[in-house]
Copies of this chain bind each other. A is one copy, B any other.
């Protein structure tokens, strides 16, 4: 016998998750709501590899971020490769590559896994999945409004009501203009914007702003015409929990127009959930032809957290609708035949191949949460009639073989 110290650990790599069926069930539910909602707005799915040339990120983010927060390595052909930390550079690459063939505007979404090298903590793992929704090729304010409507519809489809979250919006173009009119030069404006991004975490924002600019400065920003239009249009679409917040700038430098961010209003978990905005310099890494874009990203970890907070996660249910249990080996062929028939009628059917006693087979199926059980022995084989037991109600229904599927479907929808 090999000593235990020669055996490998069963732990995953640090900071990533294993998805056993119970966890995958939640993941699939979140992905399903994302896909369903995005497709209901006419968005189409795209994807790409998690591996990208490193230059894609170096160009945009500057050396520092590439070196410290991304997974990168050199491949055997001396290529620099990165595990994508975000999807936007990838989708910009795809759009730039086929820009001549695309009938603009296009609506696209993807649910990529993204990697960041950082200390694992709540909501900030090394790998997470993120819905990316974008519209390319439209400068219309209708595109900005649609993004926010889409975000609100996703939350509605997850079961949130509009008192449970708030949408904050700002107009970065108007902000930029105000700062410029107040006499801030480009560098000062950039730094002031960076400071604004951290405003909520500061008690001494005004002093810090004064120190930065060398003079007192208080931002007084009325909502721009664009902001007023967006809010009015969202009200018309029955989205009222939206508020102009002039200090909202989002963390990225690439936003160029309207931005929004969705916050939970739950007092125990009152935090930013996700956000996005307009970024009209999308494809400038690849060519000089303008490509307006508006979009947002929404992560699986944050989504799961907020659904947990509001008790909106669906209870786990196994795939199987019917478990077929057999008295002994002689009944496997009949059971397999019946399974085939029920599958053709759209039911998910598993066959117990454990060889255990029939009582144990039934106990096991019940423990797994399989809703219907059929035991197969001599009587069933002789009469071609089966007893279908609905575990939730205890109802046992004697069915001719051809009637089983109809009974199960009816009992399920009831």
Contact = CB atoms under 8 A, between A and B. Distances in A.
Nearest to A8: B285
A47 interface: yes
Nearest to A45: B24
A332 interface: yes
B343 A41 contact: yes
A395 B4 CA distance: 73
Interface string A10-47: 11111011111100110110000000000111111111
B7 A348 contact: no
A399 interface: no
A44 B353 CA distance: 16
Interface string A372-406: 00000000000000000000000000000000000
A138 B51 CA distance: 38
Given A46-B19, A354-B105, A51 B13 contact: yes
Contacts of A50: 50, 113
Contact of A24 (B46, B149, B339): B46
A337 interface: yes
A109 to B, nearest CB: 10
A71 to B, nearest CB: 7
Contact of A336 (B21, B236, B340): B236
A358 interface: no
Given A7-B286, A19-B47, A333-B236, A319 B42 contact: yes
Contacts of A200: none
A340 B169 CA distance: 22
Nearest to A3: B288
A123 interface: no
Contacts of A414: none
Nearest to A14: B79
Interface stretch (A140-148, A208-216, A219-227, A271-279): A140-148
Contact of A45 (B28, B53, B337): B28
Interface residues of A, number: 100
Nearest to A125: B49
Interface string A67-80: 00001010111010
B47 A103 contact: no
A350 B24 CA distance: 31
Given A19-B47, A73-B73, A12 B340 contact: no
Given A13-B49, A97-B10, A332-B142, A319 B43 contact: yes
Residue of A11, A16, A117 most packed against chain B (CB within 10 A): A16
Interface of A: 1-2, 4, 7-14, 16-21, 24-25, 27-28, 39-53, 55-56, 59, 71, 73, 75-77, 79, 81, 93-94, 96-98, 103-105, 107-108, 113, 115, 117, 126-127, 135, 138, 140, 142-143, 145-146, 149, 153, 233, 236-238, 285-288, 318-320, 323, 332-333, 336-337, 339-340, 343, 347-351, 353-355, 364, 367-368
21 contacts: A7-B288, A8-B285, A12-B52, A13-B51, A13-B53, A13-B81, A14-B79, A18-B48, A21-B44, A21-B45, A24-B47, A42-B320, A49-B113, A73-B73, A138-B354, A140-B354, A142-B332, A142-B353, A143-B353, A146-B351, A237-B340
